[in-house]
A and B are shown apart, each in its own frame.
Chain A
């Protein structure tokens, strides 16, 4: 059993505080994804778990045991790096079996486990090649093979697919998902890619500036973002935010409007609104629908992108705000024309400003 607990974890380089107190509970067998903008500390946090960075403060336990001061080799983790980090002077077979060689495994045991890993990753035919004779996707397989061969309790992935092209990325994404089901190990996965985060994760951790913004299942984060940052970070195209005036507050019901928006009542998930104040109204592009007349919003079409399955319309509202609408199915909208839009108030989010 290898759940992982991070309690008040901090990391500083001199006076630069990179991780500022992170608490996360990861259950055994869970697939957790760390997302966040570049430089927010995802890799640092992962490397602290691996034991490659010292922990400045706080407590890290793996499988119920505090491991703050254990070297990487005693933590029972395997890691896959963005650059693959395959040893260039060893064959694929030696690379995959490296951890076993170090552990002093017998020849027979090594041969069997390497063959097994190669079968799972469908790379039996590559075993005698040198890393320089492999494609990017094949190298990634070798790196994953090296990780699974020791049968670790915890897998750490640092943007493992970011060097692959889109098609291969999708293949490997599915394979990593499958691998997680097969092995049932705890996995922590760092990525920039929302699709990877949404599809792979049992639990997503959104980080910003070394602090956790929200932890939850992909759908919780998508439907109930805790703050503006999470709301804007997840979802593609990104959520629209309108500056609105609060005209009345009644319990959790908040009545908002602005020059371009007809008054609408939104159910707030957080507090902090008062009549006469300002707020941000968040509407996902997918929840906007065009109407012939009587729309809640009125805008002029600045740009359209026809993707076949959907049409992304870029509008400018009366007050100059930009609004993106992702409309289901293919449709033609003339640029420069006016378009009325409506949305389901239950799917809108409101955040205090």
Chain B
């Protein structure tokens, strides 16, 4: 008996790890291909594409594509713009949506369920359908800046940030998570004299590490991959993000090596963010003892 179950466990482990390795391989192939290709001249890149050499840094390897990419487009500016817009939006969105979800979950007020339903209903509205009206609105909005009141938000960072701060999906994620927090924790804090804001800051947020990480990743990806909206609202290069910058490499002569170099570069912030969150995620679970 014992012998059999032991063998079983070993076999199960082998199967489990094989499956995990396979999945990991499937997901890493494109990344490896991208980085490897970015080191090859375009002709060799295309020639290698049909063999396993596509995944190996062999042949005429150099960083030339990277230099050329920088020459062709203001890569640093695009990355800066995207990181700025994405970072500000992620932080503002987590703050705003978690407060909203808190009010929807813990505070009793008239019309609460209706309001939440309306917000959740926005999840099924694709952005493309509201893009044009939104553009018209944005072009007319006032802004108070250093030079007094100006009209129109086009060609700015704010027009890429503000529309995406409040978002139904993020609110929904927080609401779902908050519902699973033990209600008695909130009640105990209320009886102990805590205001709603104190409960939010001292009880709910410290226990929300897992959902903060999840919502941050989703928001980060959505914002970093923005293409349609920035192309509509930024005519000036100064405010353009990375995905719009990709266009520069498809004009005139198309150089696949440079494209791969550019893509490798703009992937760096994403990887850095993932690694950071992974650490924060594990730390938050370890310190609270609340399982996500």
A261 to chain B, nearest CB (A): 50
A79 to B202, CA, bound (A): 19
Asked if A237 CB lies within 8 Å of chain B CBs, one says: no
Partner of A102, one of B108, B187, B193, B207: B193
Asked if A125 CB lies within 8 Å of chain B CBs, one says: no
A45 to chain B, nearest CB (A): 15
Asked if B198 CB lies within 8 Å of chain A CBs, one says: yes
Partner of B287, one of A50, A77, A89: A89
Asked if B288 CB lies within 8 Å of chain A CBs, one says: yes
Interface residues of chain B, those whose CB is within 8 Å of chain A, are 108, 182, 184-185, 187-195, 198, 202-203, 206-207, 287-290
A83 to B190, CA, bound (A): 16
B193 touches A99 (CB 8 A): yes
Partner of A131, one of B188, B192, B198, B289: B289
Known: A89-B206, A89-B207. A81 touches B188 (CB 8 A): yes
B190 touches A85 (CB 8 A): no
11 interchain pairs, CB-CB under 8 A: A50-B191, A52-B190, A52-B191, A87-B188, A87-B189, A88-B207, A88-B288, A88-B290, A89-B207, A99-B192, A99-B193
Cβ < 8 Å to B, chain A residues 114-133: 130-132
Cβ < 8 Å to B, chain A residues 44-93: 47, 50-52, 54, 71-73, 77-79, 81, 83, 85, 87-89
B193 touches A79 (CB 8 A): no
A27 to chain B, nearest CB (A): 22
Is chain A's binding surface mostly helix, strand, loop or mixed? Answer: mixed
A49 to B195, CA, bound (A): 18
Contacts of A150 in B (CB 8 A): 192-193
Contacts of A103 in B (CB 8 A): 193
Contacts of B185 in A (CB 8 A): 85, 87
Asked if A146 CB lies within 8 Å of chain B CBs, one says: yes
Task: List the 8 shortest-distance A-B pairs measured between CB atoms, nearest first.
Answer: A85-B188, A85-B184, A73-B193, A99-B192, A132-B289, A89-B288, A89-B206, A79-B191
A179 to chain B, nearest CB (A): 18
Q: Of all chain B residues, which has the CB nearest A75?
A: B191
Asked if A98 CB lies within 8 Å of chain B CBs, one says: yes
Contacts of B202 in A (CB 8 A): 98, 102
Question: Which of A47, A81, A130 has the most C-beta atoms of chain B within 10 angstroms of its own C-beta?
Answer: A81
A127 to chain B, nearest CB (A): 18
Contacts of A146 in B (CB 8 A): 188, 192
| A-B contact number at CB 8 A | 71
Q: Looking at chain A, what size class is its interface with the partner chain? A: 20 to 34
A71 to B193, CA, bound (A): 9
Contacts of A79 in B (CB 8 A): 187-188, 191
B182 touches A85 (CB 8 A): yes
B187 touches A81 (CB 8 A): yes
Known: A131-B289, A132-B289. A85 touches B187 (CB 8 A): yes
A102 touches B188 (CB 8 A): no
Contacts of A99 in B (CB 8 A): 192-193
Q: Of all chain B residues, which has the CB nearest A133?
A: B289
A83 touches B192 (CB 8 A): no
Question: Which of B188, B191, B206 has the most C-beta atoms of chain A within 10 angstroms of its own C-beta?
Answer: B191
B188 touches A88 (CB 8 A): no
Contacts of A51 in B (CB 8 A): 190-191
Q: Of all chain B residues, which has the CB nearest A80?
A: B188
Known: A88-B207, A89-B288, A102-B198. A83 touches B191 (CB 8 A): no
Known: A130-B289, A131-B289. A83 touches B189 (CB 8 A): no
A83 touches B194 (CB 8 A): no
A139 to chain B, nearest CB (A): 12
A108 to chain B, nearest CB (A): 20
Partner of B191, one of A77, A131, A132: A77
A57 to B149, CA, bound (A): 54
A189 to chain B, nearest CB (A): 16
A72 touches B203 (CB 8 A): no
Question: Which of B185, B188, B194, B203 has the most C-beta atoms of chain A within 10 angstroms of its own C-beta?
Answer: B188
